[in-house]
Amino acid sequence: MPELKSYLEASLAADVLSEEEKATNRAFLEKFGTERLDLHRPYVDHIVLVSNSGKKMYREPDLIDVWFDSGAMPYAQWGLDYDKLAAGDPLPFKDEYNSAFPADFIAEGVDQTRGWFFTLHAISTMVRGSVAFKNVVSNGLVLDKNGNKMSKRLGNAVDPFDTIEKYSADATRWYMISNASPWDNLKFNEEGLDEVRRKFFGTLYNTYAFFALYANIDKFSYAEPEIAIEKRPEIDRWIISLLNSLTKEVDSYYEDYEPTKAARAIQNFVDEHLSNWYVRLCRRRFWKGEYTEDKISAYQTLYTCLITVAKLMSPIAPFFADQLYTDLNSGTKKENFESVHLADYPAYNTALVDKALEERMALAQDISSLTLSLRKKVGINVRQPLSKILVPVLDSTFQEKVERVKDLILSETNIKTIEFITDTTGIIKKKIKPNFKSLGAKVGKDMKIVTAAIQALGAEDIDTLEKNGTIALANTGYTIGLEDVEIIAEDVAGWQVANLGNLTVALDIHITEELKKEGIARELINRIQNLRKDKDFEVTDRIKVTISQNKAIEEAAKDNLSYICTEILADSIDFVDVVPHGDIRRNQR
């Protein structure tokens, strides 16, 4: 505005303007500093200015698309180098421009296809015959949970600042990226955001809190020499192998601009493998016994997993990842970086990857999952031991694989033993149903005869299909695969049966008197441990327990006394006629 005003003032003294043109300019000058000044068309078209060379200047009636201003961003970002300009350099921009052009990627809404995306390329083609960017992430829209466009009028708009204040920026960002690819429309549901905060961030925080609790008790600071991978227990080698596989997988997703796949892979590792499997099965290693090599291995392994996850997640959850990294590193000083964002990205180490071990452990997880689902189905909780599960042998290597992870399965499911069977007659019965969705594209109008042929398959045919993956249907000309059918295991008296693909588990649900007593003992342990927690006992506090007399509980406790005392850190357990309600006393130290 000051520049326009000075040109208007100068024009009044010029000889090239007519009196009418000067009067128009004088009228505009009088309006400067008031609300009456209007420089929109058509009024601005009446202004005539004078150039330094004394020629009349009129407003250019034909303007280039305003998006070309944004298209000039790569050059305006760094600015002109006037020495280069004076020397006639065809690209007279500051040196930083050369290392930043073309951009590795840009991101904007899909509505910018004709605007910014096009003009960036158009200008760069004219200026230097090159594209302006190598990759583009074209963002979709954020819709409400029903898929409708958010609007204040409809009352379905979400205030982003309130959302971030309530759930945090990291949880919001993680929810949006993990829920849908950036280029897809996102149905925003606050319940889903809360689930991400609890299920992912809550789980990861609790895993760190568990590690920190026992690491502080044992004063673990990673001061001991690194325990060689071959000397670590199989479960440590497994999670380290899986962690390296995750590192490679996530790196490739980031490289391909697939942050959604990266977030989901990290989330699955933390929830399904690190927390719900590794930590669950290794709890005793952290809080039991002396500071042995096995315990050090557990600490080193979990520390490595946590600090690597912090690095992997940092592009999506920068604040949480930085807090996790600095909290871990401040206790060990293993890395000389102030922030996770200054640290080196995890390097994939093929020597630490054991695919055979990963396969065995996946088998252990599947068998455990099936067994636990059967327990839930009949209402027998995991604290009640059961005698055995039967597992049909799938191939020549199956039994050997399961045997090597047998102890983990038994520990996770609280089962006494696993029996392998080759003949399932009389124990496991299966029925088969067609998967119409899969078959539709294959058989078309012949669906009726194919359905009849599938329903006619016997036990041996089903077994062949499960082992080979395919089977030819008699008199139809079609061969089907496992994806074309649904195989269901049926229960028989005294057993519960479940299957996952070609893997089948049969659970013996008969509870002997001995098993019942052990179940009561485990239930007693659980109740006392909860009482310790409710009364804020330290995890290292030893206790003396007094219980009111109950024949069943007393017999179970006496039969499992040593086990109970070890689990609850009890010096003694006594049974008396009456225990005063709420009688919990601490020894004064």
**Predicted confidence band of residue 588 (pLDDT cuts 50, 70, 90):** very low
Q: Is the predicted pLDDT of residue 91 greater than 50, yes or no?
A: yes
Place of tokens 């000051």: 2
Q: Looking at the structure, do residues 11 and 123 belong to the same domain, yes or no?
A: no
- As a dihedral over the C-alpha atoms of residue 454, residue 457, residue 463, residue 467, rounded to 10 degrees, the angle is -40
Q: Do 127 and 34 fall within a single domain?
A: no
**Considering the chain, what percentage of its residues have pLDDT values greater than 70?**
97
Please give the backbone phi and psi of residue 120, each rounded to the nearest 5 degrees, phi first: -60, -50
**pLDDT tens track for 1-19:** 677 788 788 888 788 888 8
Instruction: Considering only residues 413 and 143, tell me which one the structure prediction assigns the higher pLDDT.
Output: 413
Residue 222 exposure: Cα atoms within 13 Å on the Cβ side = 17
At 544, list the tokens.
Answer: 């003396």
Asked if 547 and 456 sit in the same domain, the reply is no
Residues 54 and 85 in one domain: no
85 falls within a domain: yes
Q: Indicate the range of 144-153, 238-247, 350-359 predicted with least confidence.
A: 144-153
- Domain contains 400: no
Q: Which residue range is the domain that position 238 belongs to?
A: 190-353
pLDDT at 118 over 50: yes
Report the CATH number that the domain containing residue 301 is assigned in CATH.
1.10.730.10
Say what angle helices 447-455 and 436-443 make with each other, to 10 degrees.
130
Share of the chain above pLDDT 90, in %: 28
pLDDT tens-digit map of 450-465:
888 888 888 778 878 8
CA distance 231 to 139: 48
pLDDT for 581 equals: 67
Among residues 328, 353, 378, which one ends one of the domains? 353
48 lies in the same domain as 80: no
Mean pLDDT of 269-276: 92
> Residue 424: what pLDDT?
61
Pick left, alpha or beta for residue 385 (phi over 0 → left; psi -120 to 50 → alpha; otherwise beta). Answer: beta
Measured between alpha carbons, how far is 73 from 100 in angstroms, rounded to an integer? 12
Q: pLDDT digit string (tens) for 369-425?
A: 999 999 999 999 999 999 999 888 877 788 899 999 998 899 899 999 999 988 665
Two structure tokens written together for 63: 């303007």
Identify whether residues 453 and 527 lie together within a single domain: no
Whether 481 contacts 469, CB under 8 Å: yes
What digits encode the pLDDT tens for the residues 322-343?
999 999 999 898 889 999 999 9
Computed over every residue of the chain, the mean pLDDT equals 86
Residue 524 has pLDDT above 70, yes or no: yes
Within-domain flag for 589: no
Out of 20, 37, 58, a domain closes at: 58
Q: Do 197 and 275 share a domain, yes or no?
A: yes
Looking at beta carbons, which pairs linking 25-33 to residues 24 or more positions away fall under 8 Å?
A: 25/49, 29/5, 32/1, 32/5
**Tokens 């039969």 belong to residue:** 559
Flag whether 336 is in a domain: yes
Q: 186-187 and 415-421: which strand pairing? A: unpaired
- Winning range, highest mean pLDDT, from 24-33, 140-149, 294-303: 294-303
Pick the closest to residue 327 from 306, 345, 346, 313 (CA basis): 306
Tally the domains of the chain: 5
450 and 534, same domain (yes or no): no
pLDDT single digits (tens) 156-210: 777 888 888 888 898 988 988 888 877 877 787 878 888 888 889 999 999 999 9
The answer as to whether 270 is a domain residue is yes
Residues 76 and 36 in one domain: no
Q: CB of 467 within 8 A of CB of 394?
A: yes
pLDDT at 322: 95
Q: Ranked by mean pLDDT, which of 148-162, 303-317, 381-395 comes out on top?
A: 303-317
Residues paired with residue 107 on neighbouring β-strands, in sequence order: 137
Per the document, the length of the chain is 589
Q: Is there a single domain that holds both residue 334 and residue 206?
A: yes
Question: Could you tell me if residue 587 is inside a domain?
Answer: no
In a domain, 563, yes or no: yes
User: What's residue 144's pLDDT?
Assistant: 74
87 and 51 both lie in a single domain:
no
Query: In this structure, is residue 237 part of a structural domain?
Result: yes
pLDDT for 314? 93
137 bridge partner residues: 107
Among candidate residues 58, 76, 106, the one where a domain is terminated: 58
* Residue 587 pLDDT > 60: no
Which three-class secondary structure state does DSSP give residue 390?
Answer: strand
Same domain, 475 and 331: no
